[in-house]
Amino acid sequence: MDFDALEEEARAKLAAPSFAFCATGADDEITAAENVAAWRRLRLRPRVLRDISNVDLSVSLLGTRAAMPIMVAPMGRHRLFHKEGECATARGAAAAGAPYVLATSANVPLEDVAAERGDTAQWFQLYMWPNRREIEALIDRVAAAQFRALVLTVDNQVYGSSPRQMRAPFVPSPDIRNVNMPGAPMARTAYDPEFKGKVNFPTTWRELEWLIKRAPMDVIVKGVLRGDDAVRCVELGAKAVIVSNHGGRHLDTTVTTADACAEVVDAIASKAEVYVDGGIRRGTDIVKALALGARAVLIGRPVLWGLATSGADGVQAVLVHLRDELIRTMQLCGVARLAEITRDLVAR
């Protein structure tokens, strides 16, 4: 699979505002581009003369066995890319054996997504807002639908600005709604002009502490780029953190996730799990992330390209392609199990 060609196929198929929403980064899109480049700057130091005839990709994520260390990142508004929305994404992820993180801003009921789960774990990404009764009601729905964990996103207290989206403005449609949110509001993008300069409900350590106590499942914090923040998340009870800069979509010129990963791992790896997203496009990128200490990676934009072009089959094809590249890279690096992917396999 050629991801460059797949992206162009998605561009040709989608309405301009939908593609812009998928592709854009904030401001000058420096971080969005550097996320990809940072993984490519790392170099592999392969071992030789190892038995790599049987490769095992299985991994434990929060105590649940997964077929591979590749997950689908939380991304909202999938009906902008395919008529079946998140149901198609979940079905494709399950077919590939990849855990799926469903976004709060999904366009289909979370129970319908859960029905597509099969034997593959699903997590639920959560944004906080002021009315705790509404949040509690949503958490209880998530628990009843047997999602394995809550993923609290903390890195977009203020929405970013996207010149690319402003050149192809998105007009909300009554047919596409964030149906799991109170009142099922029309799906608007984070770059809506009415959001400019508006502070979202400020999620603080206090809200994280409350959520960990209230949630009947594990809580993960997404959007961590610093070791000291990761330590405090874990001290409050978070079971994992996701090293992420939101794909460069809100704050431009942040440190890349490839550059932040090792610091976060070194700070908390003995106490909690670490995952990473942002710019991962190759099996070689995945091996580098695992070598830095991440337990798994999350894939964003390429999944949407697959969804836009071929629905569930396209999502599955993207994930299977990355799985196959991961296997080949491991073999060429002389490792047959994930535990053998250690930091000495990478050099800067």
Residues 6+ apart with CB under 8 A from 78: 85, 86, 88, 89, 106, 107, 108, 304, 307
At residue 195, the pLDDT reads 80
φ/ψ of residue 273, rounded to 5:
-85, 150
CA 66 to chain centre: 16
**Residue whose pair of structure tokens reads 């337990």 in the numeric block:** 295
**Residue whose pair of structure tokens reads 């798994």 in the numeric block:** 296
Neighbours of 224 (CB within 10 A): 30
At residue 243, the pLDDT reads 99
Residues that are catalytic = 246
Q: Structural domain boundaries of the chain?
A: 3-347
Global confidence as pTM = 0.97
Q: What does the alpha-carbon distance between residue 42 and residue 105 come to, in Å, rounded to a whole number?
A: 34
DSSP string over 30-89: HHHHHHHHHHHHSEE----S---SS-B--EEETTEEESSSEEEPP---GGGT-TTTHHHH
Instruction: Look at strands 122-126 and 149-153 and give their pairing.
Output: parallel
Instruction: Look at strands 296-299 and 70-72 and give their pairing.
Output: parallel
At residue 269, the pLDDT reads 87
At residue 299, the pLDDT reads 98
Q: Which stretch of DSSP H or E encloses residue 151?
A: strand 149-153
Q: What angle do CA 126, 129, 131 make, to 5 degrees?
A: 120
CA distances from 229 to 124, 223, 236, 240 (A): 22, 10, 11, 12
Q: What does the alpha-carbon distance between residue 138 and residue 125 come to, in Å, rounded to a whole number?
A: 11
At residue 163, the pLDDT reads 95
Q: What is the mean pLDDT of the chain?
A: 96
CA distances from 301 to 3, 22, 118, 271, 307 (A): 10, 7, 23, 30, 10
Write the pLDDT tens digit of every residue in 20-32. 999 999 999 999 9
At residue 241, the pLDDT reads 98
234: its two tokens: 């874990």
Neighbours of 105 (CB within 10 A): 23
- Whole-number percent of the chain with pLDDT over 70: 100
Write the pLDDT tens digit of every residue in 287-345. 999 999 999 999 999 999 999 999 999 999 999 999 999 999 999 999 999 999 999 99
Residue 238 has pLDDT above 80, yes or no: yes
Cβ atoms of 294 and 65 closer than 8 Å: no
For the domain 3-347, what is the CATH code?
3.20.20.70
Cβ atoms of 85 and 107 closer than 8 Å: yes
Kindly state the greatest CA–CA separation across the chain.
60
Which candidate, 142, 20, 36, 27, places its Cα nearest to that of 77?
A: 20
Residues 6+ apart with CB under 8 A from 25: 31, 32, 33, 162, 164, 247, 248, 249, 252
Angle between the 301-333 and 86-96 helix axes, to the nearest 10 degrees?
Answer: 10
At residue 105, the pLDDT reads 96
At residue 192, the pLDDT reads 85
At residue 2, the pLDDT reads 96
